[in-house]
Amino acid sequence: MDQDDRDAFDKALRRARTAAYGAGEFVGQENFMRAGEILAVANCARITSTTSVLDLCCGVAGPGRLIAGSTGCEYLGVDSSAAAIRIARDRARGLNCAFAVGRVPPLPAGVYDIVLLLETMLAFREKQRLLESVAGALEVGGRFAFTLESGEPLTAAERSCMPDADTVWLTPLPEILAGLDELGLRPKSVVDHSAAQQATVEALLAAYTADGDAIAGSVGREALEDLLGAHRLWSDWLRRGRVRKFAVVAEKVGPGAV
């Protein structure tokens, strides 16, 4: 998706998204997390003006810009989309933010106090390779803050119903925690956001449906139906417990740590 397409899609959905999230809670890109929830993760990860933050798969950096503006941290956002990075740079003027285009993994060279991965773990099929890269980018005491859609892998029938199913790779939380532990990344906080995410998904579904004619007029009826279909599936899966949503903060420990 090029920048013009992203801008058009963003403009078409902005009214519905702003209404769904509520006053002050929409951060400029849909990610199922409200501003207050994002800042709570940042606070748990101890992001301050003296920390360096690497934000992986940042998109247009709505959450990243919120965190950078609220904390004054040194921020680097990375995404594979050049169009998204151009938008992020434009919107981050005046903030201590830098951006780079690149696929993950590998990660940019260097070490960081914090690595963020919000709302994108789902898209990585080979999660352990990603975790290894994250561990290598953190000093002892560094933190990895991420969100996870936890569940057993999709069945063939479920994949056939999910738009963009090649970006939906569910993994159970215990499997991720075991992978972190192997790499010396010890969870300090695991918070269940399932109910909050379900409420957000349902609010978005209602807002998109209410504004459907205007959205379809901008991006096309097929794009609208894919959007509604994906949100209906997530709402159903969250309601049934097929998927659970967690926010996790893990800290890198030294050799021999108990």
pLDDT tens for each residue of 163-206: 888 999 999 999 999 999 999 999 999 999 999 999 999 999 99
Q: Do the domain assignments include residue 68? A: yes
**pTM of the shown model:** 0.93
The domain that holds 76 is classified in CATH as 3.40.50.150
- On whether the CB atoms of residues 194 and 185 are closer than 8 A, the answer is no
The pLDDT value recorded for residue 29 is 85
Q: Do the domain assignments include residue 82? A: yes
Which residue range forms the structural domain that includes residue 48? 3-252
The pLDDT value recorded for residue 47 is 98
Distance CA 105, CA 123 (A): 12
Q: Do the domain assignments include residue 8? A: yes
83 CB burial (10 A radius; 0-12, 13-18, 19+) = middle
Residues 211-223: tens digit of each pLDDT: 999 999 998 999 9
Q: Do the domain assignments include residue 257? A: no
The pLDDT value recorded for residue 30 is 76
Q: Do the domain assignments include residue 258? A: no
- In the chain, the number of structural domains is 1
Q: Do the domain assignments include residue 99? A: yes
**Token pair of 128, please?**
């352990």
Which regions of the chain are under pLDDT 50? none
Phi, psi of 77 (to 5 degrees): -105, 140
What is the pairing mode between strands 244-252 and 138-150?
antiparallel
For 49, 78, 91, 172, the CA distances from 42, given in Å and listed in that order, are 12, 18, 20, 23
